[in-house]
Amino acid sequence: MELAIQQADLAYAVGKAMGSVPTKSPMPLLACLLLEADKGGLRVTGTDLEITTAVWVPCEVKSPGRAAVSGRHFGEVIRKMPRGEIRLSMAGAQLEIRYGGGKGWAKFPTQDTADFPRVPDLKAETKISIDGEGLARLVSRSAYAASTDAARPQLSGVLMHGNEKQMVLVATDGHRLARASRKGSFAGLAKDGVIVPSRALGAVSRIAEEATSPIEIEIAGARNQAGFSTQVGDYRVEVMVRLLQGPYPNYEQVIPKNNPHDLTVGREELLEAVDIVASHADNVTRQVRFSVDQGKLGVSSATELGAGRHEIEAQYQGETMEIGYNATYLIEMLRSLQSEKVVMRLGTPLGAGLVEPVGGVPQAEEDLLCLIMPLRLPEAGA
């Protein structure tokens, strides 16, 4: 293998591929990046067997070839090199790099590329397309609600399903739920959809924000795989994902159909109140108390750490209620809404509450609904 490439191009490819390289692994080759040079380009691949990221960048290839190098060490050195052309070539069992017009060189030991995990052949059954910014918004509005509990692995992913009218992303951990949707023809996703690991969607979202072409989503349900690919300028970026096994809970059943009490507040004001008062909350439950009354909302907390209360103006005409919530869940939810005001649709102090942006999200073709379960207040359980 021998090629000439711009440092910025190689640094980009290595940085993106490193997102799929595990920090610790019993398999040494999983700590490596696979470099493949062929026909005027270099493909850099990293994988942890669950998520594979491959980036193709243009370069001048004098002779094709493959090399597997320690990812983190290689990436650190490449990132620190000066901008400009660098040359890669094999010198025996080592990969040699020369840079700075002859000012410097570096050598890296290589592993047997034959042992590097083979990137699976997707053989997609269906394919859909969505613009990068749209997909990134759907992910940011939903993935935060996914579970981190290893006992329920399917909830650690985001359900992605659709039909000829819309695409829907749903995440829940049993205590909160976020459902983000976008109008359009997405029948390839099917009603039951697929469960994509939230960590994988995070990587896809970061790429989608930079995308200069639509995101192509390919589903191979029979092989339990999905692929996301796009252009970022001259770079081709692909993320291959192993899907999670279902079934996913019937989330529609837990969404209240009739919560008659609307509490409308400024999003920033509520976020500030919860954030301040949460400093006194229990480290485990993170409980804060909502005291809902006509024209106002009081947010308070009291533990051995201290106590505090923060009152804000609110539009509310229903009965007075005292409700307990997890402050961390509220903060993450409010940050995802990105609107001037939010409305909390309440039923009873122990029933699920719905949270929506007043006036909807800025994009007319998109929609968002959040659900949060209350915590039982101490005196309510006495």
Number of structural domains (the chain) is 3
Q: Across the chain, what does the average pLDDT equal? A: 93
Do 166 and 98 share a structural domain? no
237 and 259 co-located in one domain? no
Read off the pLDDT of each residue in 306-332 and give the average, rounded to a whole number: 96
pLDDT at 173 over 60: yes
Confidence of residue 380 (pLDDT cuts 50, 70, 90): very low
Which carries the bigger pLDDT value, residue 69 or residue 126? 69
Q: Do residue 58 and residue 167 come from a single domain?
A: no
Span 175-197, mean pLDDT? Answer: 91
Residues 265 and 297 in one domain: yes
Q: Which helix (H) or strand (E) holds 339?
A: none
What would the pLDDT profile of 1-21 be if each residue is shown by its tens digit? 999 999 999 999 999 999 999
144 and 211 fall within a common domain: yes
User: Which of the residue ranges 118-122, 162-166, 211-215, 260-264 would you say has the lowest mean pLDDT?
Assistant: 118-122
The CATH code of the domain that includes 357 is 3.10.150.10
The pLDDT of residue 295: 93
Give the end of a domain, one of 115, 143, 177: 115
Domain span at residue 105?
Answer: 2-115
Q: Are both 236 and 179 inside the same structural domain?
A: yes
3-state per-residue secondary structure call for 76-100: HHHHHCCCCEEEEEEECCEEEEEEH
For residues 260 and 285, state if they share a domain.
Answer: yes
What is the structure's pLDDT at 381? 37
pLDDT at 57: 98
pLDDT of residue 379: 64
Q: Which of 208, 235, 252 is the last residue of a domain?
A: 252
- Residue 142's pLDDT band, with cuts at 50, 70 and 90, is very high
121 part of a folded domain: no
- pTM of the shown model: 0.90
User: Do residue 7 and residue 109 come from a single domain?
Assistant: yes
pLDDT above 70 (res 181): yes
Q: Is residue 156 part of a domain?
A: yes
Assess whether pLDDT exceeds 90 at residue 165.
yes
**Averaged pLDDT for residues 125-137:** 94
Whether pLDDT at 341 is above 60: yes
Distance separating alpha carbons of residues 100 and 230, to the nearest angstrom:
32
What three-state secondary structure class fits 212?
A: coil
Average pLDDT value for residue range 262-286: 96
Reply yes or no on whether the pLDDT at 376 is more than 60. yes
pLDDT at 34: 97
Instruction: Let me know whether 332 and 360 are in one domain.
Output: yes
* Residue 191 domain flag: yes
Whether residue 166 has pLDDT greater than 50:
yes
Tokens in use for 314? 């609110």
Q: The tokens 């060490």 sit on which residue? A: 73
Instruction: Check whether residue 324 and residue 350 sit in a common domain.
Output: yes
Residues 248 and 262 in one domain: no
The residue count of the chain comes to 382
304 in a domain, yes or no?
A: yes
Q: Is residue 271 part of a domain?
A: yes
Residues 226 and 240 in one domain: yes
In a domain, 44, yes or no: yes
325 has a pLDDT exceeding 90: yes
CA separation for the pair 3, 70 (Å, rounded): 19
| Distance set, CA 124 to CA 43, 217, 364 (Å) | 21, 9, 31
* Helix spans in 252-310 (H): 267-277
Last residue of a domain, one of 56, 88, 115: 115
